[in-house]
């Protein structure tokens, strides 16, 4: 597709979004206000202050976007979640096409490549809304597609690469995955072993990746590999690698504790030849690009888990209110009531940190520290919400019939990643000077 066609299609999709999903006055009519406009604008108070004009970072356009997405979630995703959880896989191509056609896979990506060209606060709004999907696996895979495997490509990739990989990923025609972690390197990204050795106009790639989300159905992988023997933070490069190249092997689909509807793969690369033009940005900058890419991943993950925690707390309040023990609702036993109030308070505190980090990020600030802190806290809080709420559901919580048991399993993953955020807080200060300035 030519750039002009992509532009036209992007604009068309915006207009379709406006008309078909009541996304009124969006881009085509009044334009989209930035968060900085929002922060400085006079506040309007009527009804719920957070939805009627007084929200810290969201405008009415953000809420309209969320509402449009909610309809897709309710109609196209949630009715099938139980089946996909049981099958241990959801149909990524089908769901991404639906989301891509409506513009949700490239909200903050350039219009030139099919995105909506909005600032990252809109991606945060989308991530929050995706938290209404009744499992963790599908939102995670959507997040990998929209905000984890593609930010570096969108920012540093050549026009040719963006046309080949970014545009179809935003449109939902290609499924993307992210290959950073390996059997011997997860939190410590710098110690990956996969190698890409230059031979003429090609790189020859050998190694393997572990725990790759969507790895069994992806069309391409954003792959981190060592391209020299230099210092570990300056010897890596990111590649766009088609998954159908000779030598790319899906070794196995990994069985997991949670996130069941998302497939997770172990991959091997055996003398995979990829053209040099498939490198994203500059050779040797892969670690830095990946660290930048992690910023959006962290903010996205926090926004997503916030809604899930909200939903779990609300469902727990409803269940414990009607469940009577010793002649009164479980909810009105003081320790239960206090604990739920405390958890909801912590959720709100985390939300404030997320919005603060987002507001700073879209103004061009480096928010590595705040984003890492938010994700660290998000992981721990999700685990606490899962633990406490599961307990309050009694035997019912131990069954597969209720969302709380799924959340209990799925939310463990955020905590696993959180260790890496502690590491980040330490190492980022050390390597801050290698990050490109805005
Ligand atoms: C379902 C699932 C999907 C995933 N999807 C992807 C994907 O799409 N792409 C990808 O590249 N990776 C993916 N991963 C991998 C994930 O990013 C890693 O598992 C994570 O970074 C942790 O790395 P590790 O498993 O090697 O743990 P390790 O690095 O071995 O760490 C072990 C434990 O130590 C803790 N820890 C780490 N550092 C410290 C510290 N300094 N102090 C104290 N504790 C610490 C961690 O919390 C962790 O629990 C996925 C993993 C899972 C389970």
What's the gap in Å between 187 CA and the centre of ligand 1?
Answer: 5
372 lines ligand 1 (CB under 6 A): no
Report yes or no: 136 and 411 within 8 Å, Cβ to Cβ. yes
Q: How many residues does the chain have?
A: 438
Helices 403-410, 412-431: axis angle to 10 degrees equals 30
CB atoms within 10 A of CB 54: 15
CATH code for the domain of 25 = 1.10.540.10
When mean pLDDT is compared across 23-32, 40-49, 125-134, 390-399, the lowest value belongs to 23-32
CA of 420 to the centre of ligand 1 (A): 7
Which pLDDT band holds residue 51 (cuts at 50, 70, 90)? low
Ligand 1 mean position, distance from CA 44 (Å): 44
CA distances from 135 to 61, 199, 270, 308, 410 (A): 26, 44, 35, 9, 7
Higher pLDDT, 27 or 47: 47
Domain boundary among 234, 249, 284: 284
- Residues 406, 309, single domain; the answer is yes
Q: How many Cα atoms within 13 Å fall on the side-chain side of residue 98? A: 15
Question: Ligand 1 centre and the CA of 419: distance in Å?
Answer: 7
Specify whether 412 is located in the same domain as 275: no
**CB proximity list for 260: less than 8 A, separation 6 or greater:** 84, 85, 86, 88, 135, 137
420 close to ligand 1 (CB < 6 Angstrom): yes
Residue 419 Cα: closest atom of ligand 1:
47
Ligand 1 atom closest to the Cα of residue 258 is 1
Average confidence (pLDDT) over 298-311:
97
More confident residue, 415 or 19: 415
Least confident of 17-21, 121-125, 227-231, 265-269: 17-21
What is the token pair recorded at 292?
């930048």
Give the structural domain span for 338.
287-434
For ligand 1, atom 52: residue with the closest CA: 211
Residues with a known catalytic role = 297
Judging by DSSP bridges, how do beta strands 220-226 and 248-253 pair with one another?
unpaired
Position 185 pLDDT exceeds 60? yes
Pocket-testing residue among 141, 148, 187, 216, ligand 1, by greatest number of atoms within 8 A of Cβ: 187
Of 405, 413, 375, 148, nearest to 259 (Cα)? 413
Q: Is the same domain home to 53 and 119?
A: yes
The string of DSSP letters for 81-115 reads: HHHHHHHT---HHHHHHHHHHTTTT-TTS-GGGT-
CB 422 near ligand 1, within 6 Å: yes
Are 82 and 99 in the same domain?
A: yes
On whether the CB atoms of residues 167 and 192 are closer than 8 A, the answer is: no
Q: Candidates 150, 186, 263: which one to mutate for ligand 1, based on the most atoms within 8 Å of Cβ?
A: 186
What is the DSSP code (8-state) at residue 437?
P
Mean pLDDT of all residues in the chain? 88
Q: Are residues 268 and 325 both part of a single domain?
A: no
Residue 138 pLDDT more than 70?
yes
How far, in whole angstroms, is CA 2 from its chain's centroid? 28
Question: Does residue 413 have its Cβ closer than 6 Å to ligand 1?
Answer: yes
> Is there an atom of ligand 1 within 6 Å of 242 CB?
no
In the structure, what pLDDT confidence band is assigned to residue 294 with cuts at 50, 70 and 90? confident
Within 13 Å of residue 177, how many CA atoms lie on the same side as its CB?
28
Instruction: Give the rounded distance of the alpha carbon of 404 from its chain centre.
Output: 21
Given 174, 204, 227, the domain boundary residue is: 174
Q: Out of 51-55, 250-254, 260-264, 433-437, pick the least confident.
A: 433-437
Q: How many CB atoms lie within 10 A of CB 426?
A: 9
Nearest protein CA to atom 12 of ligand 1, as residue: 181
pLDDT one-digit tens code per residue, 204-217: 999 999 999 999 99
Same domain as 316, residue 379: yes
- If you measure from the C-alpha of residue 297 to the centroid of ligand 1, how many angstroms do you get, rounded to a whole number? 14
Q: Is 182 helix (H, G, I), strand (E, B) or coil?
A: strand
The answer on 164 and 20 residing in a single domain is yes
Quote the CA–CA distance of 214 and 265 in Å, as a whole number. Answer: 7
Which residue has its alpha carbon closest to ligand 1 atom 44?
419
Please state the domain count of the chain. Answer: 3
Query: CA-to-CA distance for 403 and 85, rounded, in angstroms?
Result: 12
In this prediction, residue 325 has a pLDDT band, given cuts at 50, 70 and 90, of very high
Q: What is the pLDDT of residues 392-421, one digit of tens each?
A: 999 999 999 999 999 999 999 986 764 455
Nearest Cα neighbor of 165 from 221, 119, 89, 229 is 221
Asked if 99 and 40 sit in the same domain, the reply is yes
pTM of the model: 0.89
Residue 75 is classified by DSSP as I
| Domain match, 277 and 351 both | no
Question: Ligand 1 center to residue 330 CA distance, Å?
Answer: 37
Look up the CATH number of the domain holding residue 380: 1.20.140.10
Going by C-alpha positions, the residue among 227, 282, 235 that lies closest to residue 436 is 282
Place of tokens 């190694």: 207
Which residues is 266 bridged to in the sheet?
252
Residue 285 is classified by DSSP as: B
| Residue where a domain terminates, one of 244, 262, 284 | 284
Q: Same structural domain for residues 30 and 149?
A: yes
Tell me how far apart the alpha carbons of residues 128 and 311 are, in angstroms, rounded to a whole number. Answer: 11
Establish how many alpha carbons lie within 13 A of residue 400's alpha carbon, considering only the half-sphere containing its beta carbon: 7
CATH of the domain at 273: 2.40.110.10
State whether 212 and 345 are in the same domain: no
16 and 61, same domain (yes or no): yes
């Amino acid at each position: 597709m030519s750039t002009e066609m992509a532009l036209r299609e992007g604009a068309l999709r915006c207009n379709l979004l406006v008309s078909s999903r009541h996304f009124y006055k969006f881009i085509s009519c009044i334009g989209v206000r930035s968060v900085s406009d929002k922060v400085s604008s006079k506040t309007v108070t009527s009804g719920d202050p957070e939805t009627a004009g007084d929200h810290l970072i969201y405008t009415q356009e953000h809420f309209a976007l969320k509402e449009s997405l909610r309809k897709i979630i309710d109609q196209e995703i949630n009715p099938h979640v139980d089946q996909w959880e049981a099958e241990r896989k959801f149909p990524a191509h089908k769901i991404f096409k639906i989301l891509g056609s409506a513009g949700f896979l490239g909200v903050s990506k350039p219009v030139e490549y099919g995105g909506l060209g909005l600032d990252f606060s809109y991606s945060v709004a989308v991530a929050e809304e995706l938290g209404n999907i009744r499992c963790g696996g599908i939102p995670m895979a959507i997040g990998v597609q929209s905000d984890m495997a593609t930010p570096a490509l969108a920012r540093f990739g050549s026009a040719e690469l963006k046309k080949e990989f970014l545009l179809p990923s935003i449109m939902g025609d290609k499924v993307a995955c992210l290959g950073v972690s390996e059997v011997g390197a997860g939190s410590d990204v710098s110690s990956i072993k996969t190698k890409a050795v230059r031979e003429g106009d090609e790189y020859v790639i050998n190694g393997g990746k572990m725990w790759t989300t969507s790895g069994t159905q992806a069309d391409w992988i954003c792959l981190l590999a060592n391209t020299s023997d230099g210092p570990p933070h300056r010897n890596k490069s990111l590649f766009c690698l088609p998954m159908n190249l000779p030598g790319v092997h899906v070794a196995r689909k990994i069985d997991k504790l949670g996130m069941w509807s998302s497939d997770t793969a172990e991959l091997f690369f055996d003398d995979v030849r990829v053209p040099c033009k498939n490198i994203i940005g500059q050779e040797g900058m892969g670690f830095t690009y990946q660290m930048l890419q992690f910023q959006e991943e962290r903010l996205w993950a926090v926004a997503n888990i916030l809604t899930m925690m909200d939903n779990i707390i609300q469902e727990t309040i409803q269940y414990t209110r009607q469940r009577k023990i010793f002649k009164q609702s479980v909810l009105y036993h003081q320790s239960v009531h206090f604990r739920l109030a405390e958890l909801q308070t912590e959720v709100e505190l985390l939300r404030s940190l997320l919005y603060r980090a987002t507001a700073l990020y879209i103004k061009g600030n480096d928010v590595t520290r705040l984003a890492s802190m938010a994700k660290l806290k998000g992981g721990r809080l999700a685990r606490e919400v899962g633990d406490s709420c599961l307990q309050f559901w009694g035997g019912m919580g131990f069954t597969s019939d209720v969302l709380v048991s799924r959340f209990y399993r799925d939310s463990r993953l955020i905590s696993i990643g959180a260790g890496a955020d502690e590491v980040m807080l330490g190492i980022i200060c050390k390597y801050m000077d290698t990050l490109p300035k805005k």
